[in-house]
Structure 1
């Protein structure tokens, strides 16, 4: 079974080391050291990881992340590269399910902050794995969006979402759709076809989780 999550993790760790701790990412306010600290917190600090998604715990999570970001950078990246086996989200049984999206998206967060970046030519198997995740992401992110949306990944499939109204078609490779529906519309290479105003609303909508 291909281990795409592991490959994305390794590639991201290599890139983090190559760029150093203060390189930009597309995550507002975060340099590479901040992103690395987020990944370490998520896997190694269960007491704080809930704050990534639960607002009442967000303050504690942010304090822990900032302390982690002050760690020696090479040590921080080494912890990203080699997660603990005890982690419920990073052991061999759960890694591919829990981490493919996390590491693919954050790898691109770093890549696409650099001048002159270009989309990668992703393996067909990785594109298929990403489409399996992009379709439910689109349904969740757009379930209340006031339009009829058709999300299409050529050679992979199409889903219909939205609350009804003007018709929009969002077309792109699975990896680009994953980025789009994770709130990274400004760097995702997708086509949004349909009424101009509705397309602009979609591109500006808050779609992250």
Structure 2
């Protein structure tokens, strides 16, 4: 039997954890609760106008309205809707790989790390490699707000990737999952080290990273 993709497994793990923690559980997404996070993901995949509001800040009212309407429904019902993408483009393997691998990995961690007793997970080597490929491909856009040269280095293999070229780059070194979450603007990370000119390190660490 074929193993589900990392995106699909992270989707299911997020749903399982949401039901355990309950709809009012905090997340790393500002003041969002678990219910807010679930409605966000449902709007993204099932409401084209609401999805436009997620992608375009000027249209954010469309997303907010769609989320508010969904939030009137029972939390458990919403979670079960999210568990299976159904007949949407996101169910297609190529789209799921490109659009949902990091979406669900990061948001699963948003829910996990929003709790006071969180700890990093031990991911399968293939999953670590999948996250590494994703941040190598998307990392240029993620670090653009910092405006400094950036290189990332994974501590398990020593492999490196240049996200923004330039002399005297900032080097971010650590476990792949922690690097990924940092690049997506999360500050609840562990075991990262930063090298390079101090002013550039400070600029990267203080930037509003991510999309």
Shared fold per TM-score greater than 0.5: yes
1:187 aligns with 2:184: no
Q: Distance in 2 between matches of 1:106 and 1:143?
A: 21
Q: Which segment is superposed worse, 151-160 or 125-134? A: 151-160
Is contact 1:183–1:207 with CA below 8 Å preserved after alignment? yes
SS of match in other structure, 1:26: coil
| TM-aligned CA distance change 1:11 to 1:149, over 3 Å | same
SS of match in other structure, 1:94: helix
Q: Which segment is superposed worse, 199-208 or 144-153? A: 144-153
- CA deviation digits over 1:123-169, x for unaligned, max 9? 00001111111112322223464433221123162122436465421
- Report how far residue 56 of structure 1 moved: 3.1
Q: How many residues align?
A: 207
- Pick from 159, 162, 166 the counterpart of residue 161 of structure 2: 159
- Report how far residue 174 of structure 1 moved: 2.0
- Pick from 16, 19, 25 the counterpart of residue 18 of structure 2: 16
Q: Which segment is superposed worse, 7-16 or 174-183? A: 174-183
Q: Distance in 1 between matches of 2:167 and 2:208?
A: 19
SS of match in other structure, 1:29: coil
Q: Distance in 1 between matches of 2:65 and 2:56?
A: 15
Q: Which segment is superposed worse, 195-204 or 126-135? A: 195-204
Is contact 1:40–1:80 with CA below 8 Å preserved after alignment? yes
Give the equivalent residue in structure 1 for 2:137: 136
- CA deviation digits over 1:39-76, x for unaligned, max 9? 11111112221111112321111111122122110001
What pairs up with 1:95-106 in 2 under 5 angstroms?
A: 95-106=96-107
Is contact 2:168–2:197 with CA below 8 Å preserved after alignment? yes
Q: Distance in 2 between matches of 1:12 and 1:160?
A: 31
Is contact 2:149–2:166 with CA below 8 Å preserved after alignment? yes
| TM-aligned CA distance change 1:6 to 1:146, over 3 Å | closer
- Give ranges in structure 2 of 5+ residues lacking alignment: none
- Pick from 165, 168, 171 the counterpart of residue 170 of structure 2: 168
- Give ranges in structure 1 of 5+ residues lacking alignment: none
Give the equivalent residue in structure 2 for 1:55: 57
Is contact 2:148–2:200 with CA below 8 Å preserved after alignment? yes
Q: Distance in 2 between matches of 1:102 and 1:143?
A: 19
Q: Distance in 1 between matches of 2:83 and 2:175?
A: 27
SS of match in other structure, 2:91: coil
Is contact 2:145–2:209 with CA below 8 Å preserved after alignment? no
